[in-house]
């Protein structure tokens, strides 16, 4: 057994999510993103364990225990990856100013806010850090996601190649030439 695995499995006082709960969440996510469910769960249970506990401690330290309870209930209901996606989407909306009164609008994430934040409030940075923290989580053996991503990339690449092969419209070419010719005359 690896020394790091022994260390993680012996910690009991700092855990908000135990190893069996992390394994159950990994199993909940596995059917949507992997064809090898058991291998996915076995190889990712410690990643789930570490991520869930670090994220939980961030939420508790910077918000409240109630905030973590609501997030944990949602994770148990639909899995970790959908909650990460929802948290990241909410953070993007806050950054782009598309989430007015977000703490009243966005359900279980609303408990993270201790008050309404102005855009200049430094506590907003902490909140965005909490929401975006698990965004880069990349589990092993997520072959369905990899194949879907590769297929989407190749489809887009094919579409762009087809666009580049088309003959441009004669009207557009003549309009561009006229505009370039007109701009050259105005410079001289």
User: How high does pLDDT run on average in the chain?
Assistant: 78
Answer yes or no: are the C-beta atoms of 62 and 127 closer than 8 Å: yes
pLDDT tens, residue by residue, 109-153:
666 665 555 666 677 777 888 888 888 888 888 778 778 888 888
* Domain ranges across the chain: 3-141, 143-188
Residue 4 pLDDT class (50, 70, 90 cuts): very low
Q: Which residues contact 130 (CB under 8 A, 6 or more apart)?
A: 55, 58, 59, 62, 63, 112
Per-residue model confidence as pLDDT tens digits over 40-61: 899 999 999 999 999 998 888 8
């Amino acid at each position: 057994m690896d020394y790091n695995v022994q260390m993680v499995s012996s910690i009991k006082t700092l855990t908000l999510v135990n190893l069996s709960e992390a394994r159950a969440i990994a199993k909940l996510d596995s059917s949507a993103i992997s064809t090898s469910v058991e291998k996915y769960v076995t190889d990712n249970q410690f990643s789930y364990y570490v991520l869930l506990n670090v994220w939980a401690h961030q939420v508790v330290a910077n918000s409240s225990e109630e905030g973590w309870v609501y997030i944990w209930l949602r994770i148990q209901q639909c899995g970790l990856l959908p909650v990460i996606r929802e948290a990241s989407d909410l953070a993007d909306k806050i950054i782009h100013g598309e989430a007015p009164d977000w703490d009243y609008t966005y359900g279980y994430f609303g408990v993270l806010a201790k008050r309404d934040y102005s855009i200049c409030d430094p506590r907003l940075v902490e909140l965005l850090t909490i929401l975006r923290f698990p965004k880069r989580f990349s589990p092993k053996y997520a072959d369905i996601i990899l194949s879907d991503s590769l297929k989407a990339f190749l489809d887009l690449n094919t579409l762009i190649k087809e666009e580049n092969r088309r003959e441009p419209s004669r009207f557009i070419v003549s309009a561009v030439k006229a505009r370039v010719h007109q701009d050259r005359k105005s410079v001289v």
